[in-house]
Amino acid sequence: MAEAALDAVRRELREFPAAVRELNVPLAVPYLDQPPTPLHFYRDWVCPNRPCIIRHALQHWPALQKWSLPYLRAAVGSTEVSVAVTPDGYADAVRGDRFVMPAERRLPLSCVLDVLEGRAQHPGVLYVQKQCSNLPTELPQLLSDLEPHVPWASEALGKMPDAVNFWLGEAAAVTSLHKDHYENLYCVVSGEKHFLLHPPSDRPFIPYEMYTPATYQLTEEGSFKMVDEEAMEKAKVPETCLLTIRVLQAHGLPSKDLVTPPDCYVTVWLPTASSQRLQTRTVSNSRNPIWNQSFRLRIHRQLKNVLQLQVLDQDLLTSDDPVLSVLYDVGTLRIGESRCERFLGSPQARLRQGGEGHLEVEFRLQSVTDCAERLVSNGILVAREVSRLHVRLEEAGDQKGSEGRVQLVVPGSCEGPQEASVGTASRFHCLACWEPELSIHLQDAPQEQLKVPLRALPSGQVVRLVFPTSQEPLMRVELKKEEGPKELAVRLGCGPCAEERAFLSRRKQVVAKALRQALRLDGDLPEDEIPVVAVMATGGGIRAMTSLYGQLAGLRELGLLDCVSYITGASGSTWALANLYEDPEWSQKDLAGPTELLKAQVTKSKLGVLAPSQLRRYRQELAERARLGHPACFTNLWALINEALLHDEPHDHKLSDQRAALSRGQNPLPIYCALNTKGRNLTTFEFGEWCEFSPYEVGFPKYGAFIPSELFGSEFFMGRLIKQLPESRICFLEGIWSNLYAANLQDSLYWASEPSQFWDRWAQDQASLDKEQVPLLKIEEPPTVAGRIAEFFTDLLTRRPLPQATHNFLRGLHFHKDYFQHPHFSSWKATKLDGLPNQLTPAEPHLCLLDVGYFINTSCPPLLRPTREVDLILSLDYNLHGAFQQLQLLGRFCQEQGIPFPPISPSPEEQQQPGECQLFLDPDRPEAPAVLHFPLVNDSFREHSAPGVRRAAEEKEAGEVNLSSSNSPYHYSKVTYSQEDMDRLLQLTHYNICNNQEQLLGALRQAVQRRRQRKQRGPSDGGTLAGGSSP
């Protein structure tokens, strides 16, 4: 009887959910066509706990019209946000016997957008889903696009929202079943979001168990592992730690001397913790030395801390011989851990030495609680806090004659050692966390020293000391330590700067009108359907400068110049752009006047550029630059000579002055390209980093680091402006952009030979590089006799006899622990040193910039940054060695780097007989720009003086333009053209543009269509706002 009653209860319970649904739960969530009143909302929906979908409730929010992926990229692309990362898209989900929460990463929003648009890949599934009002805390720039609350909901609930969140994710991103303790209002701005709702009556029938909490961790290899929450808590460590390095002993070290055993010592170098190389004592005449010496360094765990240990054999007559070199990633150590490592020599070295030579070192990592440091990072570079020290020398009391020269040294400071005397003031900038000491000594009496630990100085107060102490006369030393500049002068961000975004907004209005007229549209395109069109000009000396004038005149004649948003230049084409942008309205005027001025300069005699009066002027200006603080280099002399070749008088124009030409969006934005290299030991193929210059900024896309253009050449340290120098005249930048003289012998061999053979070797080298991770341990083999001979010839081939030198605005910046996996760094890591952060550009005091032609003769890389979203590139190629050669090399580079770019595959017939214009695109990759390529060829121009106008017999000679790579009058070494040659080249390049009007218009129509496709794709899962309050 009891069992039957219990069965009846079970049956009723099983039927209970269905009965509730039938009585109280509608089959579909009801729609309301307008917002309810606060009373109706509370009575009809909040109190009965019923969901509804409200149409037209937030139509007045600008976000609904503005929030597209291009808009988000432009507005907040460079802003870092918290991103949940899971292997399969399921966040806060049950996996086996664990309740697993997602891994969290800090990424620029542009990186998430790149993944959503298929431009980049990232392990797992990304979802911007952070709670606790991530919209106002992480993306405050977007707050103006919406109301701070929903008035009728706030009135109904009697309070303002507890949280306002921004959600953005892939289609695979799923939030597991859960109960919210808030009344939630969701606004789907774009895409779709699917909700599965259960009524409260289902609660007793939903399985409920207790699980061990865990969290996904993303490894450096891109795989996921689950870590229990308890273990996670144990793994949490302070960011600042004390690293103890105890150099124990070595065994079986080879001797570099012929007779005696080695005299070895060990150097310890960790540039993120100290500027100095620490050193053990030397143990003489021993192959098995015991040092047992400890060194203590403070490290920050957010940095990439790569320690270098070197064993050297001391030699009194020659330089010390390297025996063993080790690179060790300190990031592998755990807090509280002591680890003893045995570093074996390379197998080749052990085989030659006939033994098991090794070095033993013990490491210990301890937490430090008394040191907190504020870092600024873009995920690639890190800026740390800086201290400033003022030092002034004064006479002590009535003492006279204190005229001795004093040397001041603060190890690791930006300024380095300084000389001073009574009455002079000096200044030092150094890392606050390093706690260095000031060393003062007389140059005439080095034994007289005064050392002052900077940590002992009170901040902001003047401290007075007397020096020297053992002889007369005395001098008083005044010291004042203070905090350095807090704000960075270097912008750390991977997207365009605010000025460029504002310019693009203005330029789109011009482009929309031009496209409406050119394509005969019924009206202006919506802002998010306006394609970004760019002109890309290669280098080629006077030939490139002249040809670009002709082609721009052709685009203007066709009414298409106003369709262009960017113009990039390299080498000789930068000379043309620098000339044109002196006139803020140049593209709105007839180019006949500027062209006539160009003719006069190109056809004039150049003998006077080396006249004695000119040489004196060069010397005076170079001396003034040196006095101001610019490093001396031959490139500056070349810049002045080049200016004299191109102009009758010096021009005072500066790069930042070109902002006037962009103030109303009346001209395209010019971008000038250069390569940064190493002064020695590496060819440009082994180390070349793209650097871009615009009227707004100068910077490295690879590092996501940029400075205002007027500050280029000034002195920087750790992202702060240390000494501002007057902005250089633009001729000195033209000297950099066309700098042929910083080349080494290996670069010259590339320039003079067939580039494809060098590129085959480059591709092989890239394949052999470990591009997936920074080595956790790297042991370098000491050089053999044969190796030393090879080093000599390598040095001979790679030394740059006339290196360019500019103050490095990246100087001192450190690397983030995850820099190598950053998507923007990954796109541009193509050098042998990318996995060795201690040897990359921020470690150098100066940049060494030169013509991009020593790598690829192109100015395209700035246009391939995904944040610029270029749809169509008009490729203007002035190469005489093949119509597609440099474009194909660029395609190979992009393919190797994973940068979206269409395949460049002309047929053999097209290679042999190239046409005036050819379109390359990749229909399967809409994120890759289309390329409309204009090689420098003489095709139908031979027979036509204008499109559709055939030449008369007496005009045939004017159609013959010698573009041979061997004997052309337009060879890059020619600095003077005849009037006839000048006219022919201008007419040819103008004709080739005008004769391909239909191809240009067709490419523009396709660009509009591709932009629409991008817009339609959008994010797979809508960005969702959730604002609500507790019931």
Catalytic residues: 571, 851
* Helices and strands in the chain, H and E counts: 24, 51
Phi then psi for residue 154, to 5 deg, are -65, -40
* Cross-strand partners of 670: 567
What SS3 class is residue 387?
strand
β-partners of residue 241 are 299, 367
Distance from C-alpha of 752 to C-alpha of 754, rounded to nearest angstrom: 7
Cα separation, 199 vs 23, in Å, equals 12
CB atoms within 10 A of CB 85: 21
Whole-angstrom CA distances from 21 to 24, 32, 908 are 5, 21, 71
Q: Where are the beta strands (DSSP E) in 282-409?
A: 290-300, 306-313, 321-329, 338-344, 358-367, 376-377, 381-383, 386-395, 406-409
Tokens found for residue 382: 């890190």
Q: Which of 894, 787, 556, 507 minimizes the C-alpha distance to 662?
A: 507
Q: Which of 1013, 875, 1021 is nearest to 70 (CA)?
A: 1013
Contact 672, 577 (CB under 8 A): yes
User: What is the DSSP annotation of 666-719?
Assistant: -SPEEEEEEEE--SSSS-TTTS-EEEEE-SSEEEETTTTEEEEGGGTTSEEETT
Report the run of H or E that residue 426 belongs to, with start and end: strand 425-431
CA atoms within 13 A on the CB side of 377: 21
Asked if 810 contacts 712 with a C-beta cutoff of 8 angstroms, the reply is no
Which residues make beta-bridge pairs with 697?
A: 708
d(CA 377, CA 385): 12
Q: CA quadruple 904, 910, 916, 922: dihedral positive or negative?
A: negative
| Alpha carbons 868 and 510: distance in angstroms, whole number | 18
C-alpha–C-alpha distance, residues 389 and 409, integer Å: 11
CA dist 286 and 308 (Å) reads: 23
Q: Which residue has the tokens 């041979």?
A: 964
357, 253 in Cβ contact below 8 A? yes
